[in-house]
Amino acid sequence: MEKDVKKGERIAKRLARAGVASRREVERMIEAGRVSVNGRKLESPALNVVLGDEILVDGRPVAAPEPARLWRYHKPAGLVTSARDEKGRATVFDRLPPELPRVMSVGRLDLTSEGLLLLTNDGELKRKLELPSTGWVRKYRVRANGNASDQRLKPLREGMMVGGERFQPMTVEFDKQSGANVWLTIGLREGKNREIRRALEEVGLMVNRLIRVSYGPFQLGDLARGGVEEIRPKILRDQLGIKREPDAVRPQAAKPKGPRVRSHKPSANSPGVSMRGKKRGKPN
């Protein structure tokens, strides 16, 4: 059963590429005894698998990794960004079209937040896009109750401590004051749990609407609420170096059941991607 670690690829990476779960989640599945290779239940993720190995998750054969794909999804408020919710609330995956591959979300938007959520069938791509080292700015349009001034917003721009947790500097643009509410555009490179809401609350502004409008070069654009649209392979290649050709692996049985989405091909002038970063050799 033991193999030369220089051959093949780690079991967690293989399952992540096959869209089963992220590497970290796969490792937890292995610890729970849910993964077997060639008839033996794994106790540790320290195993490389090669062409011809039979991999089962929960007793079901795992499909060979498919080409990495990415979708834009316009998340409505009121949905949980989770495959399952312990409180029985509706999830993003409950509302996706029942077609094509199982997908995972790239990061999360909380229950009351809305806007752009990226979805992928590839756990390695998910991991890459979520890493702070990727350095992509995530922009939000934010409506908050209260009056904004440069002095009030200064801590957000300089970085601040909230509840003992350090928040990195954000870009904050004042859009307009509308009655008792202010509209802001806020950008950050790494998002902690409810970071924008907590930071604004700390300076006396209460968020009552939060819309993610972009994630790196990918834009919400005019995608309808609840709409799903696939990002073209050329964009993945140009922005991420992702090729559509799958690795040469032995075809296996169908993937375990899971959330599915419809494939849509955007037009050549799709508003979903900003190519401004391409001219500079890096994303927006």
Report, as an integer, the average pLDDT of 168-194: 93
State the pLDDT confidence band at 79, using cuts at 50, 70 and 90: very high
Catalytic residue among 110, 150, 175, 238: 110
Task: Tell me: do 107 and 205 sit in the same domain.
Answer: no
Catalytic residue at 110? yes
Task: Tell me: do 153 and 204 sit in the same domain.
Answer: yes
Report, as an integer, the average pLDDT of 124-146: 89
Count Cα neighbours of 140 within 13 Å in the Cβ-side half-sphere: 27
The predicted-structure confidence for 184-208, as pLDDT tens digits, reads as follows 999 998 878 899 999 999 999 999 9
Q: Which two tokens stand for residue 206?
A: 């209460």
Q: Which two tokens stand for residue 193?
A: 């749990």
Task: Tell me: do 119 and 223 sit in the same domain.
Answer: yes
Q: For the chain, how many structural domains are there in total?
A: 3
The predicted-structure confidence for 91-128, as pLDDT tens digits, reads as follows 999 999 888 678 999 999 999 999 999 999 988 888 88
Task: Tell me: do 241 and 225 sit in the same domain.
Answer: yes
Give the residue, 241 or 109, on which the prediction is more confident: 109
CA 252 from centre of chain = 27
**For 106, which DSSP code?**
E
Task: Tell me: do 111 and 157 sit in the same domain.
Answer: no
State the pLDDT confidence band at 276, using cuts at 50, 70 and 90: very low
- Residue where a domain stops, chosen among 215, 230, 260: 215
Residue 241 has pLDDT above 60, yes or no: yes
Residue 258 has pLDDT above 80, yes or no: no
Among the listed ranges 3-17, 45-59, 127-141, which one has the minimum average pLDDT value?
3-17
What's the domain range around 83?
70-132+217-280
- Structural domain contains residue 1: no
Give the residue, 266 or 161, on which the prediction is more confident: 161
CA 110 from centre of chain = 13
Cβ(235)–Cβ(46) below 8 Å: no
Q: Kindly report the pTM of this predicted structure.
A: 0.73
CATH classification of the domain holding 20 = 3.10.290.10
d(CA 120, CA 130): 12
Cβ(183)–Cβ(176) below 8 Å: yes
Task: Tell me: do 141 and 205 sit in the same domain.
Answer: yes
- Residue where a domain stops, chosen among 215, 247, 269: 215
